[in-house]
Amino acid sequence: MGSSSLLNVGGSIVDRFRQPEYVGDNRCVPCTIVNGVLTVSLAVAIALGLLFGGSTLASAVGLGFVVVLVGSMAIYLRGYLIPYTPTLTKRYLPEPVLAWFEKTPSTPSDADEIELLDVEDSLQRLGVLSACPRVDDLCLEPSFGREWHARIETMDERQVDETTIASLLDVEDPDRLSLSTYGEAAVLRIDGHQAGQWESTAAIVADIAADRTLSGFHESWSSMHVLNRSRILNALRMFVEQCPACGQSVTVEQEAVESCCRTVDVAAVSCDVCGARVFEVELTSELQASL
């Protein structure tokens, strides 16, 4: 068997052992930490047991090292060593700890260094939202809504790439960007570092169409910091009236979803026909009280 065949066999074994749903961007950090601590503890316990049993220091340390090495490889490829760790982590780790580990990765521009605008106030000031005529709520301003949805109709998910997103984020060189999909979700990296995530490519279509509409709708839009624009575009998707993916109706619903570390209740906007998720936000106690 040649060296290339051996490499192929080795690669196939690794691929069968790997669990993509628990590694990479899907890695559960609390699970990794818990399993790392357990692996080291197991190695120390085995080494001490061997020493007290009369083994030499070299053999005890050597076997302990092997346990750490094997455990680390398992955690790297599978996300955990101890079976059912994701389930046990969700069940027994405190909610604040799990929520802390799931914080969104920082963007290239540190939010602490800019003034974050109130999203609802900004949408009204931009003339995008106004009081609904029949209920005590906010609705899309008709003129903006018509132009926004008209732009959505002219776009296609296949047009979503690094070049179109670069203009959305004020990045001059699209080659710095990398867009990947994991299931339905889309993840953007800038210079190899995760910088953004959308529920779907349909959500990106809605953002690009809204950005282009707002550019001609209000003169202050282009002067806003990209972080504020991103927050406004994200919130605006809650008001989308037709699916950016299939052009059909959408439904606002509440449901429980599984994240890497926990189960959370969310408010979501999904397409009725194709099922594309356009908007999703965790239902905090404050948000539930306002609904």
Instruction: Report how far residue 11's alpha carbon sits from residue 16's, in angstroms, rounded to the nearest whole number.
Output: 9
- Partners of 208 in beta bridges: none
* pLDDT tens figures, 236-277: 999 999 999 999 999 988 877 665 555 667 888 999 999 999
Predicted local confidence at residue 28, as pLDDT:
67
- Partners of 190 in beta bridges: 177, 193
Per the CB < 8 A criterion, the answer to whether 276 and 200 are in contact is yes
Global confidence as pTM: 0.65
Predicted local confidence at residue 261, as pLDDT:
57
Per the CB < 8 A criterion, the answer to whether 207 and 186 are in contact is no
Predicted local confidence at residue 237, as pLDDT:
94
Query: What average pLDDT does this structure show over 145-169?
Result: 90
> Residue 86 above 70 pLDDT?
no
Q: What angle do CA 249, 278, 107 make, to 5 degrees?
A: 160
Per-residue pLDDT band at 11 (split at 50, 70, 90):
very low
- Partners of 267 in beta bridges: 254, 281
* pLDDT tens figures, 37-67: 888 998 999 999 988 888 888 988 899 899 8
The token pair at 241 is 């009236």
Q: What angle do CA 56, 59, 65 make, to 5 degrees?
A: 140
The closest of 1, 15, 229, 56 to 126, measured between CA atoms, is 229
- Burial class from Cβ neighbours inside 10 Å (0-12, 13-18, 19+) for residue 138 reads middle
Residue recorded with tokens 């003339």 = 127
> Residue 8 above 80 pLDDT?
no
State the CB neighbour count (10 A cutoff) for residue 199: 22
Per-residue pLDDT band at 99 (split at 50, 70, 90):
very low
DSSP letter for 23, please: S
- Partners of 194 in beta bridges: 189
Predicted local confidence at residue 114, as pLDDT:
76
Instruction: Report how far residue 32's alpha carbon sits from residue 80's, in angstroms, rounded to the nearest whole number.
Output: 6
Predicted local confidence at residue 284, as pLDDT:
66
